Structure 1
Amino acid sequence: MPDRTPVQLGEYESAVLAPDQLTPRDADRLHALQARGSLTLTREHTGWRLKADATVGVLVLDRVRVVISPKFAIPGERLMSWLAYALGTPVPATARRWATGPTGYADLVGAALLEECERLLREGLRRDYVRRRSVEPLLRGRLDVAAQATRRFGQLDQLHLHAFDREADIWDNRVLGSALKAAVGMTSSPGLARALHGAAGAFPWAPTPAPALRALDRTQYTRLNARYRPAHTWARLLLRGGGVTDLLTDHGTSADGLLLAMPALWEAVVRRLGTEAVGPQGGHAVPGGSGTGITIRGDLGNASAFRPDLLLSLPGLPGHGTADRTLLPVDAKYKRYDRHGVSAADVHQLLTYSSGYASADTPTAVIVHPQPGSHARRTLQVRGPRGLLGLVHVLGVDTRTAPEQASAWLGSALRRPWDAGRSVKAAVGGEVPGRPGRPDRAGRTP
């Protein structure tokens, strides 16, 4: 692998590259990534300026190797734990040594894949019956009559056969061989590269990543191949260059690397956090965001629909029966709402969600944002001339803790949120949305 100049920058940071450090091929690939919103490349009089957006990972170009480390909300030593949590895969035993350093987290993902593949090799690779065509002196399987008649002209010294043999050259193993070979080109650690190359020799592989990805999309897990699921998860991450089904979408960018969009990762984290947090309370996530979502019709063009990142169904108040459930819309915001106020656009968005999904008595919605260092909670009261319009709970999840601890805290923060809404209404005068509040002792109406 040719030596490449390392370029280190953080999330939302920029670096200046000399004019000769980017080839025309590199510029085309970076502009393709810019169209996806991963980074920004601008031409300056001194060369090129490369700015990372909400993206972390490694990008291997012809002459430079760009390493983008997490700086915004998830610490480097916790990034892989949160990534494994979002993917729903067990964290490998090497997690205690995982920390993003000068090599970037591509080495860490490669190490995770290597650990799972070595486990499969120790247990023995799965074998299945594979149909093969062969020419043999004895009949085994089924005779290919057409090939025998047209190629051997009736001679029976060699037989054209169709036979099924149990082999390890199946797609469950091929996708892992392809991912191991891809990881070799991304790692900067000679020791890890040798280990990945050695493991790749024990697996069959596909000629290109495209058929391996198609096979992964078609894979259905049963008791026969369930042990392959963690390895396939890391393989999919590597083969898509950071894209994961339901997490990111691969657009066929030819740039070699492993880039992860942090907003998409945070959305996946919040979906799992919220679902697990309300489970012990009898709550659950509503699949698909309750059908069609909130629709807009009558405008120019086609009708549009939008829905929150997560819609939770919570049990009703005591004495109201099991059918009286509350819908709570939750939106994941990868923003520093621990340092500045919630934007007006986000307030408008959450008010729309609360009006469309939540209870009419207390329209409530939740924002979940990352906040390294400590958990935090505050409540926004949105009022109009006729009283309270809605409540927006802003919950900051401490990303320095383990995901399981964050889930427990979020469960306590989401516990009976409508009670918190009633408390707030009582404190501000007991108004009901759409109605004036009660007069205070001086006879004034809020």
Structure 2
Amino acid sequence: MPDRAPVQLGEYESAPLEPDQLTPRDVDRLHALQARGCLTLTTERSGWRLKADATVGVLVLDRVRVVITPKFAIPGEQLMRWLAYALGTPFPATARRWATGPEGYADLVAAALLEQCERLLREGLRRDYVRRRSVEPVLRGRLDVAAQATRRYGQLDQLHVRTFDREADIWDNRVLGSALRSALGLTSSPDLARALHGIAGAFPQAPTPTAALRALDRTQYTPLNARYRPAHTWARLLLRGGGVTDLLTDHGTTAGGLLLAMPALWEAVVRRLGIEAVGPHGGHAVPGGTGAGITIRGDLGNASTFRPDLLLSLPGRDTAHRTVLPVDAKYKRYDRHGVSAADVHQLLTYSSGYAPADAPVAVIVHPQPGGHTQRTLQVRGPSGPLGTIQVLGVDTRTTPAQAAQCIGSVALTIMGRSTCHAQNQRSSSSLTTPEGGDLSCSV
């Protein structure tokens, strides 16, 4: 891979570029990413200015290599832990082998794919029956009589045959070969590049990355290929350039970049955290496809419907009745500044539309480096209380299991249950309330 000038910036930060650092092809790619809300490219008198939005990762252009780091300064191992959690795939041990450096987080994802591919090679690649047509000097399989008569005119020196043999050249392996070669273009670590190059030859390759993605979308997992699921997860992430079906917006670059939309990633994390937090207490998520949601009619255009990121159904004190708790994921620094008026209005609408009328409550979950926090917003009007908003900060430097326990403690309080169960266990962190009290969180 040719040497490219490194350009490093953080989320919502910008960096200047010289006029000759971007080729016309680069400008077209950046404008395409700008249309999808990943970044912004503007012209200046002295050249270009590139500004990142809520996106992290690596973008390899013709002459520069852009590395965008998270605004929360999450260590590489922790980002991989949360990413694996959102994807529902095992946490890769290779996150400890390749630390985050100037090469960015793409190397960690490539290392995760490498780890899974090495495991598959040790266990033996899956083989399946593949139909082939070929010309052989001897008869193998079945003779293709029509081809033999029309192409060889009855001559038997070469035989047109149809075979049906077990081979490793199947789509389960082809998509991994394509992903390994895509990872080679992203990594800047010599050791990782050498390992990727060494293993890529053991896997067949799809004709194009687009064909590999189509095959991944068609893949149905059975006991025969279930062990391929983690490797396919990382392969899909690399081939889509950061876009993952049902997780991140599938509008990333198909090659030459790995850009993660952090708000969408945080929403996926919060959805799984909430479900796992209330499950042991009899709660569950309300399916997104059911219910009318909050609908706006009478305005110009079509009626619009919107829902919070997560709706949790919680058992109340009377087990015959259940409480619906709206939860919204906010990828914002609410550990440094107050909740915006727009978010207060949004959460009040959710609490009014879903929560009980006698106790309207909604929850904001935001990333909080350095410790779990919780504060309560009491919203009042001239005629009395309008609702309550619980602002919960989840420590991004802890494990997902510990974060789920803290969300579960808040859910228990909202359900009106005693938190003695959580407090009876030894605690190593707490949720701080505005009054100075602690809502203990067992971790």
Map Cα deviations across residues 194-231 of structure 1 (whole Å, 9 max, x no partner): 11011110000112110100111111111111111111
Contact 2:241 2:254 (C-alpha < 8 Å) held by counterparts: no
Specify whether residues 16 and 252 from structure 1 end up closer, same or farther in structure 2 by C-alpha distance, changes over 3 A only: closer
Deviation at 1:123, TM superposition (A): 0.4
Deviation at 1:302, TM superposition (A): 1.6
Q: Partner residue of 1:381?
A: 378
Structure 1: distance between partners of 2:314 and 2:8: 45
Q: Partner residue of 1:59?
A: 59
Q: Partner residue of 2:401?
A: 404
Contact 1:85 1:403 (C-alpha < 8 Å) held by counterparts: yes
Q: Is residue 359 from structure 1 mapped to residue 351 from structure 2 by the alignment? A: no
Contact 1:54 1:262 (C-alpha < 8 Å) held by counterparts: yes
Contact 1:52 1:68 (C-alpha < 8 Å) held by counterparts: yes
Higher relative contact order (CA 8 A, sep 6+): 1
Q: Partner residue of 2:347?
A: 350
Contact 1:55 1:260 (C-alpha < 8 Å) held by counterparts: yes
Unaligned stretches of 5+ residues in structure 2: 418-443
Deviation at 1:158, TM superposition (A): 4.2
Deviation at 1:255, TM superposition (A): 6.2
> Could you say what secondary structure the match of 2:49 adopts?
strand
Specify whether residues 416 and 73 from structure 1 end up closer, same or farther in structure 2 by C-alpha distance, changes over 3 A only: farther
Specify whether residues 75 and 11 from structure 1 end up closer, same or farther in structure 2 by C-alpha distance, changes over 3 A only: farther
Match of 1:415 among 412, 416, 423: 412
Q: Partner residue of 2:432?
A: none
Counting only pairs closer than 5 Å after superposition, residues 282-431 of structure 1 correspond to structure 2 as 282-288=282-288, 290-317=290-317, 320-321=318-319, 323-419=320-416
Deviation at 1:365, TM superposition (A): 0.9
Q: Partner residue of 2:278?
A: 278
Q: Partner residue of 2:180?
A: 180
- Range that drifts further, 379-388 or 398-407: 379-388
> Could you say what secondary structure the match of 1:150 adopts?
helix
Deviation at 1:240, TM superposition (A): 0.4
Structure 1: distance between partners of 2:62 and 2:412: 52
Output the amino acid matched with 1:66: V
Counting only pairs closer than 5 Å after superposition, residues 56-95 of structure 1 correspond to structure 2 as 56-72=56-72, 74-95=74-95
Deviation at 1:157, TM superposition (A): 5.2
Contact 1:129 1:165 (C-alpha < 8 Å) held by counterparts: yes
Specify whether residues 145 and 302 from structure 1 end up closer, same or farther in structure 2 by C-alpha distance, changes over 3 A only: farther
Contact 2:378 2:387 (C-alpha < 8 Å) held by counterparts: yes
Counting only pairs closer than 5 Å after superposition, residues 36-185 of structure 1 correspond to structure 2 as 36-72=36-72, 74-136=74-136, 139-156=139-156, 158-185=158-185
Q: Partner residue of 1:432?
A: none
- Range that drifts further, 247-256 or 205-214: 247-256
Q: Partner residue of 1:266?
A: 266
Q: Partner residue of 2:26?
A: 26
- Range that drifts further, 268-277 or 385-394: 385-394
> Could you say what secondary structure the match of 1:43 adopts?
strand
Q: Is residue 230 from structure 1 mapped to residue 230 from structure 2 by the alignment? A: yes
Q: Partner residue of 2:424?
A: none
Specify whether residues 145 and 300 from structure 1 end up closer, same or farther in structure 2 by C-alpha distance, changes over 3 A only: farther
Deviation at 1:95, TM superposition (A): 2.6
> Could you say what secondary structure the match of 1:415 adopts?
helix
Structure 2: distance between partners of 1:280 and 1:252: 37
Structure 2: distance between partners of 1:183 and 1:61: 15
Structure 2: distance between partners of 1:142 and 1:292: 59
> Could you say what secondary structure the match of 1:287 adopts?
coil
Deviation at 1:398, TM superposition (A): 0.7
Deviation at 1:337, TM superposition (A): 1.0
Specify whether residues 210 and 252 from structure 1 end up closer, same or farther in structure 2 by C-alpha distance, changes over 3 A only: farther
Deviation at 1:416, TM superposition (A): 4.0
Map Cα deviations across residues 315-372 of structure 1 (whole Å, 9 max, x no partner): 121xx23x41111111000011111111111111111111221112211111100010
Q: TM-score, normalised by structure 2?
A: 0.90
| Cα RMSD, aligned residues only | 1.8
Specify whether residues 353 and 159 from structure 1 end up closer, same or farther in structure 2 by C-alpha distance, changes over 3 A only: same
Output the amino acid matched with 1:95: A
Specify whether residues 133 and 255 from structure 1 end up closer, same or farther in structure 2 by C-alpha distance, changes over 3 A only: closer
Deviation at 1:119, TM superposition (A): 0.6
Deviation at 1:97, TM superposition (A): 3.9
Deviation at 1:142, TM superposition (A): 3.9
Q: Partner residue of 2:190?
A: 190
Structure 2: distance between partners of 1:77 and 1:157: 61
Structure 1: distance between partners of 2:192 and 2:255: 22
Structure 1: distance between partners of 2:255 and 2:100: 21
Structure 2: distance between partners of 1:366 and 1:258: 31
Contact 1:11 1:72 (C-alpha < 8 Å) held by counterparts: no
Contact 2:327 2:363 (C-alpha < 8 Å) held by counterparts: yes
> Could you say what secondary structure the match of 2:416 adopts?
helix
- Range that drifts further, 215-224 or 291-300: 291-300
Deviation at 1:18, TM superposition (A): 1.2
Number of aligned residue pairs: give it. 417
Structure 1: distance between partners of 2:192 and 2:290: 46
Contact 2:249 2:261 (C-alpha < 8 Å) held by counterparts: no
Structure 1: distance between partners of 2:252 and 2:13: 25
